[in-house]
Amino acid sequence: MAAKVDASVVKEAAAKAVLKKNIFGTVICVENGKNTISHTSSAGNLTAETPYFIASVTKLYVTACLLKLRAENKLQLHDSISNYISDDVLHQLHIYNGKDYSKEITIKHLLSNTSGIPDYFSADVINQLTAGKDQSWGFARTISTARKKKPKFAPGKRAQYSDTNFQLLGKIIETITEQDIHSVFKQYIFNELELKDTYLYEDVNDKRPAPLYYKNRTLRLPKYMASIGPEGGIVSTAKESMIFLKAFINGHFFPKETFDELQDWKIIFNPGLFFYGVGIERQPLSIRDLNNGLIGHWGQTGAFSFYHSKTDLYFTGTTNQFFGQRAAAAMIIQIIKQAKQP
């Protein structure tokens, strides 16, 4: 059942967020499934129209493209990635207990973070970036770094969040479509939904996105953000992120009944406690209720795109702070608690 939310509630949640330590700006858009509620509010140094880095929310866009390609019979989720990725890339990428599993990994393994391929985005990388050491981290460097790490399980046995998976998925999309990921996003999503302020960040001189923050200082990472494409390189606004999220949830890119298939949840403990399905996340709102919560995706930058089925409410926006998810979750929870049930 759709809940009702007053604009004042959304405004109050945004205003409260910037009172938290190191949250200098926030924007949040809230809508319901019936399109009878649409409230966007901002506070601090962000406005409703400010473009921002959506970071790993980009992974939803990758999922949409892959499922659209499947609907067009151009791939199957059980396909081996060796059908699309060259041998030199896969060479010894996943060796576990002396066995090379690299060619046994499927597209679904990558999408569900059950491939076992290590995440290049380690504590060391995070420490370098948050220290302001901007650097490009493209596909070749990602694979080289992941290959040096030891997988912790065979494909399909567990779930472990890995940005490396989505770099590989981006390469698979490029192989199938014979286009770069920028062109695919533009054709399949941005143009399709008539998004004017959403794009893949590629120009290091592009100053349009709001600068990120790490704790109390500005964090400028143009080289890094321009290099991570399918893993987290999209820029958008709260309103345009909402347009995409509702299209994604409601079957614009793939048959709506497919959405149940995506909800094959595996628990993940790092970064944070959440569940990962097939290209989507489920974030519990309480440790006492792990089987429900928000469905969508977080971004490392405090960006979020989530649907809450119990209230039929959609949430998009950002706190624009590295590790800013806690403040974003507090906004969403405050709004849900104050929503009026019909």
Task: pLDDT tens for the chain, 342 residues: list them.
Answer: 678 999 999 999 999 999 999 999 999 999 999 999 999 999 999 999 999 999 999 999 999 999 999 999 999 999 999 999 999 999 999 999 999 999 999 999 999 999 999 999 988 999 999 999 999 999 999 999 999 999 999 999 999 999 999 999 999 999 999 999 999 999 999 999 999 999 999 999 999 999 999 999 999 999 999 999 999 999 999 999 999 999 999 999 999 888 999 999 999 988 788 999 999 999 999 888 888 899 999 999 999 999 999 999 999 999 999 999 999 999 999 999 999 876
The domain locations on the chain are 7-338
Residue 286 has a pLDDT of 87
CA dist list (Å): 250 to 46, 55, 149, 188, 244: 29, 22, 38, 16, 10
Phi, psi of 105 (to 5 degrees): -75, 135
pLDDT of res. 1: 62
**Cα 89-93-96 angle, rounded to 5 deg:** 160
- How many Å apart are CA 255 and CA 215, to the nearest integer? 42
Q: Which residues contact 272 (CB under 8 A, 6 or more apart)?
A: 325
Rounded CA-CA distance 95/313 in Å is 43
What pLDDT, on a 0 to 100 scale, did the predictor assign at position 271? 79
pLDDT, residue 49, reads 98
Cα-only R_g, the chain:
19
Residue type, 315: F
pTM: 0.97
Q: Give the Cα-Cα-Cα angle 260, 290, 64 (nearest 5 degrees).
A: 35
Tokens of 225: 């953000």
**Tell me, what amino acid is at 257?**
E
User: CB 269: neighbour CB atoms within 10 A?
Assistant: 10
Check residue 290 and give its pLDDT.
Answer: 87
DSSP symbol at 275: E
- Say which CATH superfamily domain 7-338 falls into: DD-peptidase/beta-lactamase superfamily (3.40.710.10)
Strand partners, 40: 29
